[in-house]
Amino acid sequence: MGRAKHYQQEIEGLEEYVKGLVLREGIISECPYHSGIYLSEDYDYTPVFKIIAAEYKSGGLSHFSSQREATDFAKSTIDDVAGEECCSCEKWKHS
């Protein structure tokens, strides 16, 4: 039994979940020219944290040991997937 592998899958699933959430809330958006690249639209993550907190309280994010851990994970996921500018557009602009 690969416990580590299982954990990895859960984390990947959670990243997808957080990504879907922030896309839906309009906090990040996909670059219109480069699919798979996301831009931060809004640095106020409060609406997402509220949803995460509610989800945690209802038992949906049970493998986090605290609500804080869940919201920290959400924040780092947003920071990982989205930047202020699309690096591909930037490269194209300067070439």
Question: By CB neighbour count within 10 A (0-12 exposed, 13-18 middle, 19+ buried), where does 7 fall?
Answer: exposed
Q: How far apart are CB 65 and Zn ion at their closest, in Å?
A: 37
Nearer to Zn ion, 23 or 89 (CB): 89
89 binds Zn ion per the rule CB under 5 A: yes
**Residue 16's closest CA among 38, 47, 31?**
38
- For 66, the token pair is 């605290």
Q: Is 34 or 75 the residue whose CB approaches Zn ion more closely?
A: 34
Where are any strands of DSSP class E within the chain? Answer: 28-30, 38-40, 82-83
Residues 22-51 that bind Zn ion (CB under 5 A): 31, 33-34
| Cβ-closest position to Zn ion | 86
Cβ contact 29:41 at 8 Å: yes
Interface of this chain with Zn ion, residues 46 to 75, rule: CB under 5 A: none
Q: How far is the CB of 31 from Zn ion (least distance, A)?
A: 3
Can you give the binding site for Zn ion, defined by CB under 5 A?
31, 33-34, 86, 88-89
